[in-house]
Chain A
Amino acid sequence: MSTVAAAEPLSFQDLILTLHHYWSDQGCAILQPYDIEVGAGTLHPATVLRALGKKPWKAAYVQPSRRPGDGRYGENPNRLQHYYQYQVILKPNPDNLQELYLNSLRAIGIDPSLHDIRFVEDDWENPTVGAWGLGWEVWCDGMEVTQFTYFQGVGGIEVDVVSGELTYGLERLAMYVQGVDNVYDLKFNKEGLTYGEVFLENERQQSEANFHGYDVAALKRRFEDMEREAAHFLTMKGPQGQPLVLAAYDQVLKASHLFNLMDARGAIAVAERQSYIGRIRDLCKACALAQVEHERATA
């Protein structure tokens, strides 16, 4: 089935490289994935923390996203407990962000004269980091391929300057571009390597560990350790008198991932859920406040 105009659809890695080139040309810093497990590209400090304050910022990066509860042992063609998001943040959002975005789709071989591209209302919210924004899910022929958000708040604080955030679901987009029904059949590169050869075993092993392996009591202890550590870093000062927001935020991310693991193990009762989310959000808010106050004090 031919679903795109390009003679030879992009491989998974070429899709990433194409987006890197494209956003690099738009003046973005091309960053590498953050080295802590996160549930979404937004959580990378290059988005969450940089969206605060007034300083302009442009960055793009790939972020592996871990959603332990979404694991399906490699048996579901669409769901993964580890997948990739392509994240772009432009602060302040340029006036022509929609056009820039549509051109990025053209760059990867999606022709809007053949396909139905739509901006469908979706108000984005991430309660664990107290972030929210207005924007759309972008649909390509009825499939959500990107989350397009104008950040309005982060860490419970209304932003000074609005950032435009684009989050592309890379596997979905690649499946669409390559006309593939099963994520494991994706061409990873032009040498015949498939996505399954790279990641299927990872899905099988990690799903079992996520659902049956982790020691819940240990997860809970580590969560509490991280929570304490985050609070502790926020009381410390760096060499220039700054709060240790980056170190504290790392602990928040770790706590957040530990919560997701507990959730996947079925260890979070309905009544506890909000309380855990609230604890993570409070810490994130404290990080955001410390950063904003410091920036204001030194401005």
Chain B
Amino acid sequence: MSQLLLEIFSEEIPARMQPGAARDLERMASDRLKAAGLTWDALTTYAGPRRLTLVIDGLPAATPDRNEELKGPKTSAPAQALEGFLRKTGLTQDQLVERDGVWFAQISSKGRATTEVVAESVDDIIRHFPWPKSMRWGTGTLRWVRPIKRILALFDGAVIPFEVDGIPSGDVTEGHRFMGAGQPFAVKDFADYRTKLERNFVLLDAADRKLRILEGARAVCAAKGLALVDDDGLLDEVSGLAEWPTPILGDMDPQFLALPPEVVQLSMKVHQKYFAVREPGKDGLAPHFVVVANVEATDGGAALAAGNAKVLSARLSDAEFFWTEDQKVGFDAWNAKLKDVTFHAKLGTLAERVDRIAALAREIAPLVGADPAQAEQAARLSKADLASGMVGEFPELQGIMGGYYARLAGQPDAVADAIRDHYKPQGPGDTVPTAPVTVAVAMAEKLDTLVGFFAIDEKPTGSKDPYALRRAALGVIRLVLENGVRMPLQGMTFVAGEYLSGMRNLEKLPNYDRASVVRKAVLGKEEVEADRNRIAAMLDGADGADWQHGALDYQAGLTQLGWDVLAFFADRLTVLLRDKGQRHDLVAAVFALGDDDLVRIVRRVEALAAFLATDDGANLLAGYKRAAQLLKAEEKKGPLPEGAVATGLPNQPAEETALAFAAAAAASAVDAALEAEDFAAAMTALARLRAPVDAFFTAVMVNSDVAEERENRLKLLGQVRNVMNRVADFGQIAG
């Protein structure tokens, strides 16, 4: 068993692409070698600033010999079938074997040398490597992330000879650009390679580079009684920028600490890739930074630290300039500028978006316990900082700067906090705001986004979600659930649609009852359609009927939009609950009821799950399925009988009577429980059906020869199904 060592040495690979490249190299090498029939003990890849490395231990010297028998056509088959088989196998007829009237071909081939397979694979990998961006260089045609300088390929200590577009393989690599020997050197195997690289100031493994950075950075801070501000994202990035990462502490002019710490930290991170530093036990930042250099400078890093400090000063002077200039401008001027900024060509300007969010936040406020005027005010100011100099320079500070500027402008904390946090939650890991004004604005912001992009048919498809609508929907769901907000979500979607279309003048319609429309949006297509027709008939011949018809059509459109968005919320909620271990069929069973109150939906799903986990629940579900199947079969023959279930019929089995009483009792108990939103009680009411249902199916034959008996029993089963369906659509539950 032998070792394969491959290194593709190039000019500097972008740091952000290195982790993906290591994974792609691993996948591509595994796929190709496996396809050739090779197996191995261990395969590892490394990516660094100038090299991708692959090492495989325990590879055989050759792929296995192949011996197999292929079954061909019957000897009685037409000549074409045999010809086809001969073509496929590359054999002649006399080489075939006949057995039981069928032709067989014996195929055997010798294994190929592993080195041959590797040479082919490397060529193929290089030509098909999925770099996010690649380039050509010189007069060649090869594409790589940056020019390839050299390929090292060793198998069992010997060079595998090949070339890729004129670049020959060899046993040579080189060390650090400035600190290394300055000469390429040969290696024997992986251990030798790794040791010689380290001796030439190259840490091969990103994990080693990170460790060196973290330990070094903490040490230079600790030496001055300071502490490092950890930043994993930055650590990942700088570990891809240096082969011999060397943290050095630099000094910052303390005057810059008057800037918001987010500004200082971001300026350091984005532009300079410096770590921030703090004093242990104190808030805020210390007037220092840690730069991760790629060299151990011969003067101990003094010149280097001074140079970096100077650059940082220039950067922070810029930030300070924006900070002071922005304070001279203020919210009115910024909001005026938003009139010239397009949010989306079909969704108007940012100023129009702000108007919508403000109106929506005002409507949401009472539902979340916020003051409507404050919610509207916060929303009106929420996007202003997009026109500020600071956010123009650092888009990541949107919201945060608005919060600072609002506080400086004397806005109440509730408003400033809402401006700061209204983009939250930005992802599954982000925290959810709880302050009522913030919740109102955050929800309005996301609803406007969702409804807007759904209205212009820019829905997410597959992996494409350019407007991050899934994130917005999940954000709304988390805001609702984690704050226990009771809100008719589809009704609110309808309202968002109204603001989007500027169709609030629907209220000018005769007898227009907006609250009822919002409620009806939740009801169902038929009701809304019937309502529309009723009003339309009333309008016929009246003055301005055309406009009013148009408005009604529009209303129907908005209702449809509400359904589409609600279905999207249902999908996202299903994903969220599934991630928390909840069965998706239960979510579907509850959503099928047409409710749009997420808090209620989740509580119902939870109660349902608990119920189904009990013996009563599981058995009742089986009973339901049996009843539903029977009813379904009968429905095919004709309409099911309707009306009250009779009791006290002659010869009526006791089990039938008992179930009839039990179903009636369950119906009123379920109604009362649902009214009180006590889902556990609703489940308990259903549980009482279990014994009578079981007994009924054991003792009673539904399809009686006596027509009246059969009819009464079908009515009874229909009643059982109906009462259960009020709790959840049990038909959607697997079991």
Point out residues on A near B: beta carbons under 8 Å. Answer: 1-4, 78, 92-95, 98, 102, 112-121, 123, 133-136, 140-143, 150, 152, 161-162, 176, 181, 269-271
Contact = CB atoms under 8 A, between A and B. Distances in A.
Contacts of A4: 303
Nearest first, the 7 A-B pairs at minimum CB distance are A141-B307, A121-B14, A119-B12, A116-B293, A134-B135, A142-B308, A142-B311
Given A114-B304, A162-B138, 16 more contacts: A3-B303, A3-B307, A92-B139, A93-B147, A102-B177, A112-B177, A113-B297, A115-B303, A123-B133, A133-B135, A134-B135, A135-B146, A140-B307, A141-B311, A162-B136, A181-B310
Contact of B139 (A119, A161, A181): A161
A143 B308 CA distance: 7
Contacts of A102: 177
Nearest to A99: B177
Contact of B295 (A2, A116, A135): A116
B596 to A, nearest CB: 39
B16 interface: yes
28 contacts: A1-B306, A3-B306, A3-B307, A78-B314, A92-B137, A92-B139, A93-B137, A95-B147, A112-B178, A113-B298, A114-B303, A116-B304, A117-B178, A118-B242, A119-B12, A120-B12, A123-B133, A134-B133, A134-B134, A136-B12, A141-B303, A141-B306, A142-B308, A150-B146, A150-B147, A161-B139, A162-B137, A270-B341
Nearest to B11: A98
Contacts of B14: 121
Contact of B308 (A2, A133, A141, A161): A141
Contacts of A115: 295, 297, 303-304, 307
B299 interface: yes
Nearest to A269: B340
Contacts of A270: 340-342
Chain A CB count within 10 A is highest, among B135, B146, B295, for: B135
B293 to A, nearest CB: 4
A210 to B, nearest CB: 19
A260 to B, nearest CB: 19
A142 B178 contact: no
A161 B139 CA distance: 5
Nearest to B293: A116
Contacts of A123: 133
B341 A142 contact: no
B614 interface: no
Contact of A152 (B136, B304, B341): B136
A136 B145 CA distance: 12
Interface string B289-315: 001011101110001101110111010
B197 interface: no
A176 B306 CA distance: 11
A43 to B, nearest CB: 22
B135 A150 contact: yes
Interface in B259-308: 272, 274, 291, 293-295, 297-299, 303-304, 306-308
Contacts of B242: 118
Nearest to A164: B137
Chain B CB count within 10 A is highest, among A117, A119, A271, for: A119
Interface string B183-210: 0000000000000000000000000000
Chain B CB count within 10 A is highest, among A78, A136, A150, A270, for: A150
Given A114-B304, A141-B304, A141-B311, A121 B297 contact: no
A35 B235 CA distance: 47
B297 A118 contact: no
Contacts of A119: 11-12
Interface in B123-137: 133-137
B241 interface: yes
A95 B342 contact: no
A8 B305 CA distance: 21
A141 B340 CA distance: 40
B626 interface: no
B136 A2 contact: no
Nearest to B314: A78
A114 B149 contact: no
A16 B647 CA distance: 108
B241 A114 contact: no
Interface residues of B, number: 42
A121 B293 contact: no
B15 interface: yes
Nearest to B12: A119
A42 to B, nearest CB: 17
B249 to A, nearest CB: 14
Contacts of A143: 307, 310-311
A149 B436 CA distance: 51
Nearest to A149: B135
Interface in B1-45: 11-12, 14-16
Nearest to B299: A114
A236 B153 CA distance: 56
Chain B CB count within 10 A is highest, among A115, A135, A141, A271, for: A141
Contacts of A142: 272, 274, 291, 307-308, 311-312
A150 B137 contact: yes
Nearest to B300: A114
A121 B136 contact: no
A181 B313 CA distance: 10
A89 B12 CA distance: 20
B363 to A, nearest CB: 31
Given A95-B149, A142-B272, A161-B138, A113 B133 contact: no
Chain B CB count within 10 A is highest, among A114, A142, A143, for: A142
Contacts of A141: 303-304, 306-308, 311
A138 to B, nearest CB: 10
Chain A CB count within 10 A is highest, among B15, B242, B299, for: B299
Contacts of A121: 12, 14-16
A131 B27 CA distance: 34
A133 B291 CA distance: 28
B212 to A, nearest CB: 16
B192 to A, nearest CB: 26
Contacts of B303: 2-4, 114-115, 141
Contacts of B272: 142
Given A95-B138, A269-B340, A114 B311 contact: no
A176 to B, nearest CB: 7
Nearest to B268: A142
B484 to A, nearest CB: 43
A53 to B, nearest CB: 12
A33 B214 CA distance: 48
A159 to B, nearest CB: 8
Interface string B154-183: 000000000000000000000001110000
B197 to A, nearest CB: 19
A103 to B, nearest CB: 12
Given A3-B306, A3-B307, A134-B133, A112 B11 contact: no
Contacts of A134: 133-135, 145-146
Nearest to A270: B340
A229 B679 CA distance: 79
A150 B12 CA distance: 13
Nearest to A119: B12
Given A95-B147, A162-B137, A114 B306 contact: no
A141 B273 CA distance: 11
A134 to B, nearest CB: 4
B15 A152 contact: no
Contact of A93 (B138, B274, B291, B308): B138
Contacts of B307: 3, 115-116, 140-143, 176
A181 to B, nearest CB: 7
A140 B312 CA distance: 13
Contacts of A117: 178, 294-295
Given A3-B306, A121-B16, A141-B304, A116 B138 contact: no
A112 B298 CA distance: 10
Contacts of B133: 123, 134
